[in-house]
Amino acid sequence: MDNLVILFVIVPLGSAFLIPIIGKFIPHFQKALSLLALLFLCTLILNYLFTGNSQCIIYKVAGWEAVENVPIGIYLVLDGLSAFLLLIINSIGFLVVFYSFSYMRKYTAENYFYTLLCLMIAGMNGVVLTGDLFNLYVFLEIAVIASYALVAFGIEKDELEASFKYQVLGGIASLLILLGISLLYWQTKTLNMADISHVISTQADSKTTLFIQIILITGFGIKGAMIPFHAWLPDAHSSAPSPISSMLSGVLIKAIGIYAIIRLFYNMFAITYEIALIITVIGTLSMVIGGLLAIGQWDLKRLLAYSSISQMGYVVIGIGMGMLILISNGDKMVASMAVAGGLFHLINHAVFKGLLFLNAGAIEYATGTRDLKQMGGLAKDMPVTSSTSMSASMAISGIPPFNGFFSKLLIIIAAIKGQYYLLAALAVLVSIITLAYFLKFQRYAFFNKTKYTGSALVKEVPFTMAFSMIVMGVLCLVLSLLIFPGIREIILSPAVEVLMETTEYSSKIIGL
C-alpha cells in the first residue's frame, strides 16, 4: 500500500491524458476508462480503510529523503482525514460518471467532458493528499481550472456568464492563497506543512502569522463559498450540467475549501482564539443567511445551490466550535464530538446534495425546465426520481432515521455541552428553515395538483441515471450507521483523531 498512494493522482491524470487521444478512435472508450479508473480508486481507498488500521502513510515523491529532519522533497501524506475525503471524492465521482452516461448524450464533445472530469478528480485527490503547501496550490489550480471549463460546458449565455464570474472570483482567491503561501515561505523558509508547523511553534511572530492566517481564510473562504464570499456559487453551480453541479456542490467546495481550512488551521498553525472565533462566525453567517436566501428561490438548482452554502455552514460551525473548545481548555470529548459532527455532516452533505442535484438533472432531462412553478404532479410519472429526492430531502432537513439527523444532532449536542446556546438554537432554527424549502421543492415538483404542461412527454429517466440515484438514495439511509460504535472506528474516528492531535501532526510527519 505504501507506494500505491501516488496512484490517486496518477490514475485520473493518466486517464485525462488518454481519453482525448484514444477516445477519438474507439467508441465508448472515454466512459469505460473513467468509470474503471474511479472504481479502482474506490477499491483502493476502501481497502486502506478496512485493512490499514488508520496508520499514517508518507510517500516521498521521487525518493527525496529528509536531511537532518528537514524535508526537502514533496511529501504525500495519507492519514485518516485524507482517506475520509478521498472516499467522498472517488465514490461520488464514480456515481456521477455512471449518471453522465445517459445525461451527457445531449451534449457534443463527450470526450472533453470526461477528460475534464478526470482532471478535476486528479486535482482534488492531490489537494487532499499533499503535505506540501505549494503543491497544494498547484493541485488546487488543476482542479479549479477544470471546473471553470466544466461550468461553461453548455456554452450558452448563462453558462458563459456564470463561468466568467466564477473565474474572476476564483482567480482572486487563488492569488490570495499564493500570496499567503509566499508570505509563509518568507517567514519560515520551508514549504512542507509539518515543517512549517514546527518552525512557527519555535520562532513565533504572532502578528505576521495572524496576517497570513487572515489572507488564507479569505482565499479558501472564497473557494469554499462561505457567506461574505459566496457570490459566485449560486450562478456557477446552477449553470453547470447537472452531474457537474453535483460534483461541484458535493465535492469540490469541500475538497479545496473546507478541507484546506481544516487541515491548515488544525494541523499546521497553532490554534488561536481569534481565528477560531472568525471561523465560527463565518460558519454561522453562512448557515443562517444561506438558508434564508434559499427560501425565495424558484429556480430548482439555484435553491439547491443556496442550500449548499447553508449546509456547509453547519460543517464549519462544527469545526470552529471544536477549535473554540480546544483553545479555551474545555472538555476534549466535547471538542471531538463537535469535530465529528462537522465531518459527519460533510460526508452526508456530499451524498444528499449530490443526489439532489442529480434529481434536478433528471427533472430537467425529462421536462426541460428548472422552474419550480412550471413543474407539478411529476410523482406519478417519475417514481424513482420522486422517491430518491424524497429520501434526500428528508436527510438534508434532519429527519430521523436519515443520516442528516445524526450529524446535526451531534453538532447541536456539542454546542449545548460547550455552552454555545445561541449556536445550538440557530442550528435548530436553520434546520426547520431547511425543512420548509425542501417541502416547497417536494410540493411544487412532485405533489402539486396542477399537472406539468410542457410539450415534452414526461417519462422516467434511463437506467444509468436511475441507478446512480437509487444508490445514493440508499446511502442516505445507510450512512447513518457511521455514527454507531464498530463502524464509526473505520471511517469517522480516524479522521477526528487526526484533527484532535492538532500540531502533533508535524512531529509524526518529520519524525522529531
Binding site for another protein (CB under 8 A): 134, 137-138, 141, 145, 148-149, 152, 155-158, 160-165, 167-168, 171-172, 174-175, 178-179, 182, 185-186, 189, 191, 234-235, 239, 293, 302
Query: Dihedral (C-alpha) 388, 231, 225, 234: value to the nearest 10 degrees?
Result: 10
174 versus 348: smaller Cβ distance to another protein: 174
Burial 55-90 (b: 16+ CB within 10 A, else e): ebbbbeeeeeebeeeebeebbbbbbbbbbbbbbbbb
| Residue matched to cell numbers 441507478 | 467
Cell numbers representing residue 220 in the block: 479558501
| Residue matched to cell numbers 469541500 | 254
H helix or E strand, kind and range, residue 60: strand 57-60
189 versus 451: smaller Cβ distance to another protein: 189
d(CA 485, CA 482) in angstroms, rounded, equals 8
Give me the residues paired with residue 299 across strands: 371
Q: How far is CA 110 from CA 27, 103, 124, 486, in A?
A: 11, 11, 21, 43
Residue 439 C-beta: closest distance to another protein, Å: 22
12 versus 342: smaller Cβ distance to another protein: 12
Question: From the CA atom positions of the chain, what is the Rg in Å?
Answer: 22
Cell numbers representing residue 314 in the block: 453547519
Residue 336 C-beta: closest distance to another protein, Å: 36
d(CA 313, CA 317) in angstroms, rounded, equals 6
Q: How far is CA 435 from CA 67, 260, 291, 460, 512, in A?
A: 56, 30, 10, 26, 50
Contact 85, 143 (CB under 8 A): no
Residue 211 C-beta: closest distance to another protein, Å: 13
Amino acid code (one letter) for 68: E
Residues 6+ apart with CB under 8 A from 76: 5, 6, 9, 58, 59, 61, 129, 130, 131
Contact 404, 315 (CB under 8 A): no
Residue 446 C-beta: closest distance to another protein, Å: 26
191 versus 350: smaller Cβ distance to another protein: 191
